[in-house]
Structure 1
Amino acid sequence: MDNKLAGTVAVVTGASSGIGAATARRLSEHGAAVVLVARRRERLDALVAQIGEAGGAALAIEADLAVREHASRAIQEAVDHYGRLDILVNNAGLMLLGPVVGADTDEWDRMLAINVQGLMYATHAALPHLLAAAEDGLREVADIVNVGSIAGRLAWRGYAAYNTTKFGVHAFSEALRQEVTRRHVRVGLLEPGAVATELVSHNSAEVRKEMTDAFDARVEKLEAEDIADGIAYMVTRSHRTTIADMLILPTEQD
C-alpha cells in the first residue's frame, strides 16, 4: 500500500467482477476503505475477504442500482458504516447489442435503468457526502469517476441502444463536472475500448460471435486491471488537477 488514499472511503458499483472488482482492489492498495456494491452477494463477500487478507478494509452491500431506493440505501449504508464518503466509482453497467429493427425493447429498458438511471441515482445520493468531504481538509477534494465507453463517442450499427446510454453518461458527466468543480468535487469520465470482461456474455450467441470476429482475432483486449489503473490515477492526482476525460484503448484497436 502507498497510502495516497489513507483515511478515505470509496464506493465502487458493479464490484462483483471485472472492472469493478479490480478497481476496488486497486483503491484498497492505495489505502482507501472500499464499499463494494452489486447484486451478487457471494462474489462481494469473497472480494471483501480477499481485500481483508491483503490488509485492507472493505464492506459488501447487495443492491440493484436500477432501483432508486437501493441506490440511496447503498450510499447511506456506506456512510453510516465508515462515517464519510470521498470517492464514487460508477461502474455498474450492461451491454445488450442488436439492431433497432425487431429489438426487444425490454432490453433497452434494462440498459437505460442500469447504465443511466442507476448511475444518476447513486450520484445524487452521494453528492451531499462528497461535497462535505471536499470541504473537510483531508484531501481538499472528492471524486466521482463514471465508467463510460468508447461507445459514448462513436456510434456503430447494432449498438444503437448501448450507444444511447453511453452518450448519455458522457453528457451527464460533463454537465455535472461544470456544476460542482468549483466546490472541489472532481467528475471524471473514463471511456474504455475493448476489455476482456463478462460484459458481452449477456448477449446472444450470434452477437458474441460477431464481436469475436470483430475483435478477438486481431486485437489483444485490455484487462480489467488496466482500467482500474486508470481510475486510480484519476483519483490520486493533486487536488488542483482534474482528469475530466480519459480514453483507454487496446494498442491494436482502430
Structure 2
Amino acid sequence: MIQTDKRNAIMRVAETIDCQVRRVRVNAVEAMRAHELAEITIDLMPGETLCPFCLGTNLRKVDVRFTTHGPEVSGFPFSYEWFTTCGQCEFGRMKVCKHCDHTVSKGSLCQCKGAIAERQEIEVAKEADRLAKMRHISPAEYAHEKVYVNEEYRVLGDVISEAEDGEDVGLVLACELTEPALCPDADDVIERIEDRAYEECDDGHIVSFGAGAKEALQAVLDKWFAEHCTVNELYYPTNVIIDISPAKTEEEEAQ
C-alpha cells in the first residue's frame, strides 16, 4: 500500500462540483512512479514491435460519463476515469507482418496479398496431409447407398456412372449411417407435467404417477411414433475415401 503522504501528493481535490460529488484529479505519472512503473522492460521477439496505441504500456484510459438525480444537474457532468488493458495488443507487443511490415492487432490477421497467400498455402498443405492419412476403400467394400461428394450427399451408383462417362467426380467420402433418437421420451413428458404442476399450483407433489406409468406411456409413444412418423436416413461423412475408377481411355479399352 502506498504511504499516506505519497497518496495525498498523487490525489489532489481540485474542486467540489456538487454537494455530494468531489472531483479528484490523480497524477497518473506520479502514481506510476509510486508503483515503480515509471519504466518497464519489454523484450521483443523477432517479428514484434511496441504497440503504437499504448506505446508498450498495455494500458488505455476509459472515461464513462454519468449524472446524479436532481433538478440542479443537467446532462452528464461527472465521470469515472480509469486505466484498463489495451485491446489492440498482447502485453504491449504487436505482431509485424513479414510481408508488408504493417502492425497486426491482437486477434487479427494481415490482409495483404503475401499474408493471404501464405495462409492459403498452409491450409492446402494441411488438407493434403489430412487426405494422405485417410484410409481408401473400393466401392465394393462400401455398405451404404449414399456418399459425400462436393459438400452434398449423392447416390454412389450415380457417382460411379458419371466417372465412367469421363466426368471428374472429385473426392468421394464414405458415410456413416446413423439413426437419430427422435422418439418422444416418457421421462421427459412426466417431468414436464410435474414442472407445470409446480408452476400452476406451487406444489411439486400435487401430481403423482402410479407404478408402471412410465412404461405404459413409453409404449404408447413408441407405437404412435412408429405409425405416424417417418425419419429419413441420416448420413455423416467419415475420413474414408472411396476410390472411383475413372473412365478408361481408348487405348486401355483396346487392350
Identify which of structures 1 and 2 has the higher relative contact order when contacts are C-alpha pairs closer than 8 Å and 6+ apart: 1
Q: Whose strand fraction is larger, Structure 1's or Structure 2's?
A: 2
Same fold (TM over 0.5): no
Mark the structure with the bigger radius of gyration.
Answer: 2
TM-score relative to the length of structure 2: 0.18
TM-score relative to the length of structure 1: 0.18
